[in-house]
Structure 1
Amino acid sequence: MALWLTLAILAGAIALFVTEKLRVDVVALLVMTALMVSGVITVPEALSGFSSQATVMVAAMFVLSGALQRNGALVAVGEVLSRIRWQWLFLLVMLVLVAGLAAFVNNTATVAVFLPLVLAASTANRWAPSKFLIPLSYMSQAAGVCTLVGTSTNLLVDAMGREAVGVGFTLFEFAPLGIVFVGICMAYLLTVGHWLLPERGVPGSEETEHVGRYVAELLVPEDSEAIGLRRDQLVPGSVEDAVVLEILRRRRPLTDPDAVVQAGDRLLVRGEWRAIGAVRKARRLRFDHVAGELDDDVERVQVEAMVSPGSHLIGNTLAGMRFAHMYRARVHGIHRRLLDIRQPLDQVQLSLGDVLLIDAPETAIEDLRADKGMIVLGTRKEAKVDVRRASLSALVMAATIAVAALGWLSIVQAALVGCAALLVFRLMEPDEAYRAIDWRVILLLAGIIPLGVALQKSGGAALAADFIISNLGQFGPLAALAAVYLITAVATEFMSNNASAVLVVPIALAAAESLGVDPKPMLVAVAFAASTSFATPISYQTNTMVFTAGGYRFSDFVRLGIPLNILFCTAAIVLIPRYFPF
C-alpha cells in the first residue's frame, strides 16, 4: 500500500513540476504533507529536510554569496570586462571569470552581477549581447560542478548519500572531473557554440532600442485618432511588428470583434518598442500617468529592470504592491518569455525573468539598484564599490573555503562560522542576511528530501533499480550509470534540478547495491546531470534570466544546448568511472 501511495504522490508531483501550475516550493511542501498524512513516512522523517545538512549549507552559502554581491566584491571582478575591446578576448575572459566565481558562489548571484556588466560592455562596443549571455549561463552551470558548494544540487546529493549509505564527498572531490567539464564547455562556446549563437542586434541601436518585444498599455485620450476604429484598424499600415492584443474598457477586455474604440479605453499593444512608439504617435495615444504626484518636472529616464530569482515581486502585481508609489516610477511595458498578457499591466502577476520598462526620475534609479528583487539592465552607471567591505567579505568567503578544505571544520560548520563573522563585523545586517536567502530553494529542499526517504522506505527506488538492472545489468555497471545520467538529464530539462536529483538518487543507490558496486559513481552522475541543464530556457534559473535579456528564442537553447548536453553525457559516461571507479 505504501508503495502505491508513494508512486501516486510522485506522479502528481512530477505533473505539477512539469506543468508549473504551482510554484516548485509549494509542490515540495504539498508532497511532504501528503507523505506524512498518508502514513508513508513518520513526522520526524517528513521534517528531516529542514535539519538536513544540505538545507542548512545552501542557506549559509546564500548569505556568504549575498555579502560578496552587496558589498561590491563581484562587481569589482566584473569590471575587468569593461576594459576589453576585442570580442573574442571579451568572451574568453568572461568565461574564465565566471568559471572561477561560480565554482564557489551561487550561480544565479554570479549571473545577476555579470548580466548588466555584459549588457553595458555590449552597448559600448556595439556588440550583440546575444553572443555572450547564453555562454554566461552555460559556464555558470558547468563551473558549479567543480566543488561541493558550487550548486545546491551537489550539496543535496551529498547529504542524501551520507544519510542513506554513509557515502559523501569532500569539498574538492568533484574538481578534477569538473575542470574537464569546464574545459569542454569553454571549448564548445568559443568555437562551434559561438558560431551557432544568434545575432539579435545591439542595445541602443536603431534595430533594437530595448530588450526584446514588450506588451504596453496605452490610454485613449479625448483627442485620439483611434476613437471609432476597430482593433484590426488601429495599427497603421506603415508600422511593422506591432499588434493590438486587447481593447480594455473599464479594465475588462471587449469580446466583440467589431467593437470600436472609445475615449478612456486602454489598448494592450505588443511589439518592438520602436513599433509601439510609432503606434502611440500615429493614433495620439499616451501612457497612463498612474498617480498625479509622479507628474513632476524632474528629468525622467527609462530603465529596464529584470525580476530576479527569489524576488519579492514574483507572484505579486504592480497594483498590489503599489509599485508606482514605492519607487516613484511608472511601468510602461512588460517583456516576458510568453507575451500572452491579456489584462491591465498592473494586474499581471510578475514572474522570474520578466523585464519591466520603467519610467522614473533619475533620483529613483539608485533605489531600483538597491532593491535585490530587480536587476537593473538599462542604465550604464556603475554601482559604487566599498573596497574595505568588499575585501573583508571576500576574505571571509576565502577563509570559509580554506578551513573546510583543510579539514579543520566540516563544510557546514565552516559556512555557519563564516555567516556569523559577516554579522559580527557588520559586513551584513541580519535583515540583509535573511533577504539574501532564496527561501523558495530552502523550502524546495526541505519539502522534497522526504520524497527520497519515501522512495527508499516504500521500495519504489528498488523497483525502478530492478527495472534498470533487468534490462541493462548484462552490460555491466557502465550501462546502469549511463541510464542514471540520461534519466536525470532528461528530467532536469522539464523540472527543478533539485527535484530531479531527489527522484533519481534513491534509484541510483539501489542500482549500485544490486550490482554490488561503489555508489559514488552513480551519485556523481546524478549531481553532474542535474546541475548542467542547457536545452531549454526554463530548465535552470540562469537560462531564464538570460533568455529575456538576450532577446533569445526557445529554439536558440535547443540548437545550442542539445549538442552540449550530448558532449557532457558522453564525457560523463567515459570519465566518471576513471575518476570514481566502481
Structure 2
Amino acid sequence: MTLDQVLAFGLIGITVAAFIWDRLPYDLIALTALAAGIALGLVPAEKAFSGFSDDIVIIVGGALVLSTAIARSGAVETLMRPILPHLTSAQRQVTALAGGVLLLSMVTKNVGALAIFMPIALQLARRTGTSPSTLLMPMAFASLIGGIVTLVGTSPNVIVSKVRADLTGQPFGMFDYAPVGLCVAGVGFLFLCLGWRLLPRRDSGARAMDAAFNLERYTTEASLPAGHPGIGGTLGQLEALADGDVRIATVLRERFRRYPASPDFRLQADDVLLLSGEPDALERFVARADLVLAGALPEAEAVVMEGVVTAESGLVGHTAAQLDLEQRQGVLILAVSRRGRRIEQRLSAVRFRAGDVVVMRGRTAALGPSLGALGVLPLAAREIALGRNDRSWIPAAILAVAMGLVALHVVPVAVAFFGAVVAVLLLRSMTPHEAYQAVEWPVLVLLGALIPISETVTSTGGADLIAAHLTTLVQDLPPIAAMGTILVLAMAVTPFLNNAATVLVMGPIAAKLATKLGLAPDPFLMAVALGAACDFLTPIGHQCNTLVMGPGGYRFGDYARLGLPLSLIVVAVGIPMIALVWPLRPA
C-alpha cells in the first residue's frame, strides 16, 4: 500500500467516523475533509472545487426547488381532495397516502414528495383520530422505494449515473432504473399496505407543536370579486369548499352592514367575508374558493411572516387603520389570532392586544425591520403561506415537460432541471427568495465537497486495492452472490454514513470489483444505487426518515420494526431483478 493510499483511506475513515459521531454538521465535516485533502496533496488545487460545478449539484438543487414549487401550487391537494372524505380507516389512509407519495417520488425528489403529503396526513390524522405514527413511517418508506424508479427520484441514482459516466463515458438514463425499481417498489408497497400494523400507536410531537403555536383560530377577511362564480349562490355552498376546516363568521356588505353567517344567505359581488380557521386551512380555502384577501401586494417579492405582539409593541391599543401600517411600515395585516375571544370585525378595526398573533405581509427587505420597529416578535418556527393565491398546475406542467425532454434525450438532466427552475421563477410560481429557501444547502455542500474526496480512492489506486480484497472474498461465489454482497454492504453502510457518501465511495469500488471478476459493471452499480437508497433501519440514514421522527413520535428502535422486513424484501426482489435486467456477464 502506497503512502497516498494510506492517506486517502485514513482521510475517508476519519470522515466516516465524524459522520457516525454526529457532533458536527455533516456539511462542515465534508468541507473539513476537502481542506485536509488539499493540504495532504490528495486533491489537486485546480480540481478542489470541481465538485461544486458537477451536474449532480444542479440536479439535486433543481429537484428540491421544483418539489417545493409543486407543494406550494396545491396541485397535489387538488388531486387528493375528492378521495379524502373516503379515507375513514387507517388501512385506507395508509394505502392512499403511501401510494401517493410513492408515485410522486418517481418524478421528483423523494424528500420533496414526502414533504408535500405530510401536512395532508397530519390533517387527516387529526380529523379521524388516527395516530400519526400509523401513517408517517409507511409514507417515508414509500418515498424511498418510489425514488429508486427514476434517475431524479433519489440522490444515489444521480451519483451512480455520474460514476458510470466517468467509467464508460455513458451515464444511466432517466428510466434505466425503472425495470428493477418498479418491481421493488410494487412489492414493497404491498408490504407497507399490510405491515403498518407492526408500528406502535403513539401521540406525536406534532400535538405538542400544535399546543405551542396554534393559539386558537385566526380571523382573516376576503372578498368576492366581480364575476366570481359564487355570486348569487349561498354561503353554505361556498363554505362547503373548506371541508369543515374554516368557518365564515360574518358577512360585511357596503362597508358597514353586518350580516350573520347563515347557510342560506345569498352572496353578492364585493361581499367581505370574515373567515376563522388555522393558517393552513385558511390558505387552502382562500385559494380553492378563488377569494381575494384584503390588501394583497402585487409584488412577486412579497413574503409572509407570523409574529406575536409584545407588551411593549406600539400596536397595543391601536388599529391597523389608525397606524396606517401599509403606508408607514409597508406591511399588511392578513390575519389575527387572539386566545379566548373570537374576532368578528374588520381587521383594520381590530385593536391589538399584547399576545395577539398576527400574520403580516410585506416586501422581503422591509418586513424584518418593520417587525422590529413595531415590537412584533417573529415566530421563526413556522412558515405561513396565507396571502399566496398562485395555486396552479404550472410547476407540475413545467416538471412534466422537463422529464419528457430528458426521456426523449433532447437535453441532459441537469440542463432540463436548470431550465425548469428558471421557467418556474419567470412565471412567478415561486419567488427567488422562496427558491433559495427551498434548496437544502448543506446537502449541496456535502456533495460538492465529497466528490473530489471520493475520487482520491480511484486516483490513488485505492479502489483497485479494495476490489482486489473483495475479489478474494467473493471469487468462489456465483456472480449473482457477488453482486448481492455489494447490495447488502451498501444497505448496511448507509444508515451509519450517508447515502450520497456511500455511493461516492462504493460506486468506483463496485465497478472495479466487477472488472476483476470479469463481470459487467452495470449490475454492480445498480446494486450500489439500490442498497444506498433503501435505508429503512434508522432515522439518520436518510432525510425522509428523519423528517417523520418528531411528528410521528417514533423512537430509534421503531424503524427496524417495519424497516427490517422491508429491507429483506428489497434484497429478495432486487438481486434477481438486477441480474435479470442487467446481465452479469459482459456481452
- Normalising by the residue count of structure 2, what TM-score does the alignment of the two structures yield? 0.69
Question: Where does the alignment leave 5 or more consecutive residues of structure 1 unmatched?
Answer: 215-288, 299-326, 330-358
CA distance in 1, matches of 2:35, 2:193: 47
Q: CA deviation at 1:480?
A: 2.1
Displacement, 1:74?
3.5
Corresponding residue of 2:274: none
Partner of 2:192: 189
| Aligned counterpart, 2:137 | 134
1:59 to 55, 58, 61: 61
The equivalent residue for 1:446 is: 448
1:366–1:126 distance in 2 versus 1, CA, 3 Å: farther
Paired with 1:202 and 1:166, the residues of 2 have a C-alpha distance of 48
| Residue 358 (structure 2) pairs with residue 363 (structure 1) | yes
Within the alignment, does 1:484 sit opposite 2:492 as a pair?
A: no
In structure 2, the residue matched to 1:115 is: 118
Instruction: Determine which of 529, 534, 537 is the counterpart of 1:535.
Output: 537
Please list, as runs of the form range in 1=range in 2, the aligned pairs for 1:235-314 lying within 5 A after superposition. 292-293=311-312
1:579 matched to 2:577? The reply is no
Corresponding residue of 2:39: 37
Contact 1:469 / 1:511 at 8 angstroms: preserved in 2? Answer: yes
Match of 1:460 in 2: 462
> How far does residue 372 in structure 1 lie from its aligned partner after superposition?
12
- Per-residue displacement from partner, 1:272-327 (whole Å, max 9, x unpaired)? xxxxxxxxxxxxxxxxx9953379989xxxxxxxxxxxxxxxxxxxxxxxxxxxx9
CA contact (8 A) 1:116 1:375 kept: no
Mapped contact 1:59–1:442 kept (Cα < 8 A): yes
Q: Answer whether contact 1:493 1:535 (CA < 8 A) is retained.
A: yes
Report the residue type matching 2:107 in the other structure. F
Structure 2 CA distance for partners of 1:486 and 1:167, relative to 1, 3 Å: farther
1:175 maps to which residue? 178
Shift of 1:527: 0.9
Equivalent position amino acid for 1:187 in 2: L
Residue 266 of structure 2 corresponds to none
Q: Which whole-Å CA distance do the structure 2 matches of 1:290 and 1:477 have between them?
A: 68
CA contact (8 A) 2:110 2:143 kept: yes
CA distance in 2, matches of 1:365, 1:106: 31
Residues 377-392 of structure 1 mapped to structure 2, 5 A cutoff: 386=389, 389-392=391-394
> Where does residue 102 of structure 1 map in the other structure?
105
What letter corresponds to residue 66 of structure 1 in structure 2? T
| Paired amino acid for 1:517 | L
SS at match of 1:363: strand
Q: Deviations over 1:432-489 (max 9, x none)?
A: 2222211111111111111221000111111111111101112132222122112211
Counterpart-to-counterpart distance in 1, 2:483 and 2:583:
12
CA distance in 2, matches of 1:138, 1:563: 12
Kept in 2: contact 1:36–1:46 (CA 8 A): yes
Give the partner amino acid of 2:475. G
CA deviation string 1:399-451 (max 9, x = no partner) = 11111111111212211221221222222222322222111111111111112
Gaps of 5+ in 2: 213-307, 318-334, 338-353, 368-377
Contact 1:41 1:454 in 2 (8 A): yes
Instruction: Say if 1:32 and 1:450, in contact at 8 Å, map to a contact too.
Output: yes
- The 1-side partners of 2:313 and 2:467 are apart by 63
Match of 1:419 among 410, 418, 421: 421
Aligned to 2:94: 91
Letter in 2 for 1:475: L
- Given that 2:487 and 2:528 are in contact with CA atoms closer than 8 Å, whether structure 1 keeps it comes out as yes
For 1:209 and 1:61, the matched residues in 2 are separated by: 31
8 Å CA contact 1:212–1:551 kept in 2: the answer is: no
CA, structure 1 residues 131+463, in 2 after alignment: closer, same or farther (shift >3 Å)?
same
- The aligned amino acid for 2:114 is V
Cα pair 1:294 1:328 within 8 Å, conserved: no
What are the superposed Cα offsets for residues 551-570 of structure 1, whole Å, 9 maximum, x if unpaired?
11222112211111121122
- Give 1:36 shift: 1.8
Q: CA 1:537/1:513 → structure 2, altered by over 3 Å: closer, same or farther?
A: same
The alpha-carbon distance between structure 1 residues 403 and 360, as it changes in their structure 2 partners (threshold 3 A), is farther
Aligned mates of 2:119, 2:313 — CA distance in 1: 27
1:212 Cα deviation (Å)? 11
Separation (CA, whole Å) in 1 of partners of 2:178 and 2:479: 23
Where does residue 497 of structure 1 map in the other structure?
Answer: 499
Structure 1 residues 435 and 171, CA gap change in structure 2 (3 angstroms): same
| Structure 1 residues 108-130: Cα deviation after superposition (integer angstroms, max 9, x where no partner) | 22222221211111111111111
Q: Distance in 2 between matches of 1:386 and 1:556?
A: 40
Whichever residue aligns with residue 455 of structure 2, its letter is V
Q: Residue 497 of structure 1: CA displacement? A: 1.0
The 1:470/1:580 distance shift into structure 2, 3 A limit, reads same
- The yes-or-no answer on 1:394 pairing with 2:413 is no
Gap change, CA 1:77 and 1:26, over 3 Å in 2: farther
Aligned to 1:322: none
Asked if 1:210 corresponds to 2:235, the answer is no
Compared CA separation, residues 546 and 471, structure 1 to 2 (3 A): same
8 Å contact kept, 1:81–1:121:
no
Question: Is residue 468–residue 480 contact of structure 1 (8 Å, CA) maintained in 2?
Answer: no
Q: Is the 8 A contact 2:523 2:582 kept in 1?
A: yes
Q: From the CA coordinates, give the structure whose radius of gyration is larger.
A: 2
Distance 1:19 1:76, change over 3 A: farther
* Alignment coverage as a number of residue pairs: 440
Structure 1 residue 360, shift from structure 2 partner: 7.0
Residue of structure 1 aligned with 2:19, choices 17, 20, 44: 17
CA distance in 1, matches of 2:207, 2:431: 39
